[in-house]
Structure 1
Amino acid sequence: MWDRALDLAQSRSVPLLAAFVDPASYLIEWTPGNNVLPTSLDPVLAPDDDAAIAGAQLKESLAAAEAGYGVDWSLRIIAGDPALALGRLAEAIGAATIVLGARRTGFMAKVDELVSGSLMHRLLTTQTVPVLGIPSPDV
């Protein structure tokens, strides 16, 4: 997936912002007056937090894939419902496209999709930013 996202960023001469949404978190910034605070877009995590560990692994993976592309990139760990959190981040940074990789494999991933629905479908039906899906390299 990284190769496709990096190709797209390189072809458009734009930086790549990767995001990991902590699935064990929730949006806390909606106040009763509908004020939006930046807390979920910049959560403070302990180094041994599962989301911080997953984010570090993702950062290593992206750094290895980026070699040779010359694309500026960064990684953000964000919180909340994945579709809403990705949409909020895309809006906050003025993203032109949300690029989404294929869902992870395994039994629990299937259970999660049955319970919460397809992230791709939820993004397509809730966002104003175009969404690009990257198929699994195993397909």
Structure 2
Amino acid sequence: MVLGVAWEPSGNVIRAGAALAARLNAHLICAFVDPASYLTEWEPAGSRTSASLDPAVKSETDFPSSHVRDGLQAILGPPGEEWTFRVLNGAVAQALCRLADSTDASLLIVGGQRPGRLAAMERILEGSVSAELARLQSRPVLVIPVLDA
């Protein structure tokens, strides 16, 4: 199972995803998509220097991912057999789809829409990750309400 986690992870989404994975005896992959990076494939073809899907390594991206990992560990304990943490790059929905495809995940889990004007403005500008996943994916997508926003 793949659980998409945000910069400020929702405790109820993480706990619900972990509980479902435990009930189904499935490994939970918690994935954070770093919005400050992108894949080289999305650069104009003439400016690309390689054909790799591996993102360029940037030391400034270590802080956001470590912040998210620390939040996950506070809720789930240290990573291990029950769960692992992955940092992805690119557009959120597409990155989660690539991870689900590459791991043959049985289910994608994401948090629902956050309340508030700022979150509504972000959805207008960037779109809804859960709606995009439902459109792109052939596997089930579970949207868990964000209660602790």
**TM-score range, shorter-chain basis?**
0.7 to 0.9
Letter in 2 for 1:38: L
For structure 1, the residue ranges without an aligned partner over 5 or more in a row are: none
The answer to whether the 8 A contact 1:97-1:131 is kept is yes
Q: Does 1:115 align with 2:125?
A: yes
TM-score normalised per structure 2: 0.74
Residue in structure 2 matched with residue 25 of structure 1 by the alignment: 37
Within 2, Cα distance between the matches of 1:85 and 1:15?
A: 19
Q: Does 1:45 align with 2:58?
A: yes
For structure 2, the residue ranges without an aligned partner over 5 or more in a row are: 1-12, 46-50
Alignment of 1:61-72 (within 5 A): 61-67=71-77, 72=82
The answer to whether the 8 A contact 1:30-1:37 is kept is no
Within 2, Cα distance between the matches of 1:112 and 1:128?
A: 26
Alignment of 1:120-139 (within 5 A): 120-138=130-148
TM-score normalised per structure 1: 0.78
Letter in 2 for 1:94: D
Structure-2 change in CA distance of 1:9 and 1:132 (3 Å): same
Within 2, Cα distance between the matches of 1:79 and 1:63?
A: 21
Identity value in percent: 33
The answer to whether the 8 A contact 2:37-2:90 is kept is yes
- CA displacement, residues 105-129 of structure 1 (integer Å, 9 cap, x when unaligned): 5544332210121111111001112
Alignment of 1:81-96 (within 5 A): 81-96=91-106
RMSD: 2.6
